[in-house]
Structure 1
Amino acid sequence: MPSTTNGVIWSAIERFSVQGVSFLLGIVIARLVTPGEYGLIAMLAIFMAIAQSFIDSGFGNALIQKTDRNEVDYSTVFYFNIVISAILYGVLYFCAPLIARFYNQPELTSVTRWIGLNLIFISFSVVQRTRLNIDLNFKLQAKVSLAAVIISGIAGITMAYHGWGVWALVFQSLSNNLLSTIFLWASAKWHPMLLFSIDSFKRLFSFGSKLLASGLLHTIYLNLYSLVIGKFYNAEDVGFYNRAYTISQYPSTNIVMIVTRAIYPVQCAHQDDDKWLEQHFLGYLRMTCFIVFPLMTLLAVIAKPLVLLVLTEKWLSAAELISILSLAYMWYPVMVINNQMLNVKGRSDLFFKLEIIKKIFAVIILFATLPFGVVWLCWGVVAYNLFDMLLTIVFTKKVIPTTYISQFHSLKLILLNVTFSSVISYVCLISIQHVWLQVITGIIIYISLYFLICRVLKLKELVFILDFMHHRLA
């Protein structure tokens, strides 16, 4: 479908231009600050993420899923976001001293109060971004977000270079969200009406509230590790874990986000056509995993030399964590693409029930591995992600006819390919000493093997990509 393909392309451009630049700027700043200073910001992640979940409240997805949405719906969501963000910032402001005492980090009081302003800035842009997503207008989002990231990133680097430490990270975050919101308002050409509809709120909240609850559970889980590590270990360990998490989930999360936010509005438009949904489901799954699986396993193979090369030796403790977490997040596309079908079919109740079961299991794993150190915590994440994937497929079967066998069968050649390519690449790197050569050789060997095997097996995903590139360049 041309509209879907075009949406994926611009979603990719927007996501990787913005996230790519942000990622690179983050690496530069990480070289200029200490793991402990980086860990201070990571300690606040759980509080900011929970608050941000309340600001959206699942209304973004509810607006996309609602096929008869109108200006009243948009305005209602907009004003709700503003009010809830102000309330949440007030709570965060007054709880800042408690957070600082919890971690035994006095500096967190002022850091929390400043970085909490992001909640206000973000609340003004939720509806604008949702409207652009519905229109598959990722081109405008790319321009807006990229400009904000570059300006704020340069400012953050400058402050870090002059010794501002954690405050460089605070200012970078604040300026990025503020500029992004200002640019969206100047470019998106949408303004709210002066009205708030209780009926509209109730209809949207009936769907979005379950997504809110599900999102809160997932958000708490993702950030619980930084909170627990900060409480039971120290800020430096939080820094190592958070940097490892940021790097390891980057390829998988961004690629999946590119695909799912482009196909979600299209799937919702066909939400009553079960035959269409079933036909396209495995295709989306295979194509996404065809790209994500090799990237994640390659990252696991070259993690140590990559950290030494990019982040310097002071971050070396993060290398092993990156390798482990990369194996966990390679399954992210399977989980998300299956999960999304529940929302497409309007079954946010199943989505919420699924999250409850998964997160109970997640917390059990977290506290079972906690006494054994951060490395074992990361292996616990691997175990959870495998459980998450298997259980999610059970629930997906309730809305479309799919099975473990059909999904495994569609992915088995890709899995065999990445396993073979990873083992051979790792063995080849053992005898190489220089980190530059390890990184370059590892990438060349892995990519060459992966695509050679794809050609031998005649995987249709490679054929599709090559044909698409040929037609685009012709």
Structure 2
Amino acid sequence: MSIKQQATRSVFWSAVERFSVQGVQFLLSIIIARILLPSDYGLIAMLSIFMAIAQTFIDSGFANALIQKKDRTEVDYSTVFYFNIGVSVCVYLLLYGASPWVAAFYGQDQLVSITRVVGLTLIVNSFGIVQQARMTVALDFKRQAQASLLAVVLSGCVGVWLAYGGYGAWALVYQSLLNNLLRVAFIWFLSGWMPGWSFSARSFRVLFSFGSKLLLSTLLHTLYTNLYTLVIGKRFSAVELGYYNQAFIWAQFPSSNFTNVIVRAIYPIQCRLQDDTEQLNRMFLKYMRMACYCIFPVMLGFCALAEPVVRLVLTDKWLPAVPLLRILCVAYMWDPVMKINHTLLNVKGRSDYFLYAEIIKKVAAFSILFATVPFGVKVMCAGLVLYAFADIAIIVHYTRKLTGIGLPAQARELAPVIFLAFSMGALVYVSTLLGVSPGVQLAIGVPVGMAYYFLMSSLFHYEEFEVALSFIQKNKGKETK
């Protein structure tokens, strides 16, 4: 199988896994959001920074190190497996003991028991990190899709039942714990891999030399991303945090998931090409532009139709989240550019560049965050748009050292896609000014936006559109045979 065929197959199954799982989870979360109050979501969101940082320590960059390493062995896998479990137990015990201080910090007594139950997911997840890394190395996204989808459907149904039963924030707690427990159990069953009784200090040192830099980089990014929930929850109210959290979830859903599909699918393949700079560069530009071609119109269309979507799907009680959602859509639409550049550094084994870039970026990020806090949540969200451009400029500075592809070259590559997406977003926004019901606004805006985007893509011969059209025609031809 050629590199192109492997990449196509990997992207396909990665997309199936990501969007089937996240899609079902997203639909179930909409049902639960219609039942629960914004304050319930705000209460759980208060723990996000603690859980995210804890999970970062447990992985410690070892999953990426296993995927990047060319001569990985069974001893490597077993070493990482036992390390992950040991760290998860230690981190959980720290979180358990710190739960009264977490509750006191926010002034929410319920958080003591909620923290101790939610924290169990850390131990549960640690049992599946290596199995998932092995599947990724083998480009086996199909079985990952099966495990994740079954887990999210079963746990989601339980979550909806608990929400209707009046469990409030605890419905979200039990749903999360059950989802992770089922997913790990299914991954164990499908992977067929069992760790050996071995732990190698030498293997640990080799993997840690790469993973430790990723750990520090990821820790900085995780701290910054989740610091918004901490600051909003502390300075404002649980209700306002609930609005921000819901806007954040919706804005990140399309951009983060689609970008992760591309990155996760092509990363193992790029690692095989890490010594072939010319072919690696071609693959880098091709998939970055393809990702942007797909995600930019979705994010800008969502930005334009935010109000009718929220009115129709979440009900009017969530309307204060609309302005935040619009700003965050513009901020997170640039995820493909940032993450695909980040991945290239890992592919080339330059986790040191990754760390240097992350330190510089987070100096800028924290400066923007603390400068915008006094002006309210909306201005804080606007600061994320500014940070997105700073992130791109800094990370491209480092990828240019390895590829020779700088910011002007990447901007020229993406300019046609940017122009097309923004013009489509402006056209779609007009549909919200017609004074009709939310349902009619969506019925007009969505097809008009899609028709304009595909028509202009065809007229100006966008390569991405022609590739997609060729793929569809090819598959139709197979079906008719």
TM-score after normalising by structure 2 = 0.98
Matched, 1:437 2:452: no
Matched, 1:213 2:226: no
In 1, the alpha carbon distance for the partners of 2:426 and 2:187 equals: 46
- Give the structure 2 partner of residue 163 of structure 1: 166
Contact residue 78 and residue 126 of structure 1 kept, 8 A: yes
- Give the structure 1 partner of residue 235 of structure 2: 232
Q: CA deviation at 1:426?
A: 1.0
Structure 1 residues 2-30: Cα deviation after superposition (integer angstroms, max 9, x where no partner): 01100000000000000000111111111
- Unaligned regions of 5+ residues in structure 2, if any? none
- Unaligned regions of 5+ residues in structure 1, if any? none
- Give the structure 2 partner of residue 114 of structure 1: 117
- Give the structure 2 partner of residue 135 of structure 1: 138
- Give the structure 1 partner of residue 254 of structure 2: 251
- Give the structure 1 partner of residue 32 of structure 2: 29
In 2, the alpha carbon distance for the partners of 1:185 and 1:428 equals: 49
Give the SS at the match of 1:136.
coil
Aligned residue identity for 1:376: V
Matched, 1:385 2:388: yes
In 2, the alpha carbon distance for the partners of 1:396 and 1:202 equals: 26
Matched, 1:357 2:352: no
Aligned residue identity for 1:469: I
Give the SS at the match of 1:411.
helix
In 2, the alpha carbon distance for the partners of 1:232 and 1:433 equals: 38
Residue from 301, 312, 315 that aligns with 1:312: 315
In 1, the alpha carbon distance for the partners of 2:26 and 2:439 equals: 20
Residue from 156, 173, 176 that aligns with 1:173: 176
In 1, the alpha carbon distance for the partners of 2:252 and 2:427 equals: 23
In 2, the alpha carbon distance for the partners of 1:375 and 1:360 equals: 21
Give the SS at the match of 2:401.
coil
- Give the structure 1 partner of residue 271 of structure 2: 268
- Give the structure 1 partner of residue 407 of structure 2: 404
Contact residue 278 and residue 401 of structure 1 kept, 8 A: no
Q: CA deviation at 1:423?
A: 1.2
Q: CA deviation at 1:473?
A: 2.2
In 2, the alpha carbon distance for the partners of 1:15 and 1:166 equals: 25
Matched, 1:278 2:281: yes
- Give the structure 2 partner of residue 101 of structure 1: 104
Structure 1 residues 125-172: Cα deviation after superposition (integer angstroms, max 9, x where no partner): 000100011111111011110010000000000000010001100000
Aligned residue identity for 1:150: V
Aligned residue identity for 1:337: I
- Give the structure 1 partner of residue 58 of structure 2: 55
Contact residue 429 and residue 441 of structure 1 kept, 8 A: no
Matched, 1:2 2:5: yes
- Give the structure 1 partner of residue 326 of structure 2: 323
Give the SS at the match of 1:191.
coil
Q: CA deviation at 1:266?
A: 0.5
Q: CA deviation at 1:472?
A: 1.7
Q: CA deviation at 1:432?
A: 3.0
Q: CA deviation at 1:289?
A: 0.5
Q: CA deviation at 1:207?
A: 0.1
Give the SS at the match of 1:185.
helix
Aligned residue identity for 2:349: G
Matched ranges for 1:54-93 at <5 A? 54-93=57-96
In 2, the alpha carbon distance for the partners of 1:303 and 1:236 equals: 19
> How many residues of Structure 1 are paired with residues of Structure 2 in the alignment?
474
Structure 1 residues 24-59: Cα deviation after superposition (integer angstroms, max 9, x where no partner): 111111111100011111000000000000111000
Contact residue 271 and residue 345 of structure 1 kept, 8 A: yes
Give the SS at the match of 2:180.
helix
- Give the structure 2 partner of residue 342 of structure 1: 345
CA RMSD of aligned residues (A): 0.7
Residue from 430, 436, 443 that aligns with 1:427: 430
List 4+ stretches of structure 1 deviating above 3 A.
none
Structure 1 residues 214-244: Cα deviation after superposition (integer angstroms, max 9, x where no partner): 0000111110000000000011111111110
Aligned residue identity for 2:98: C
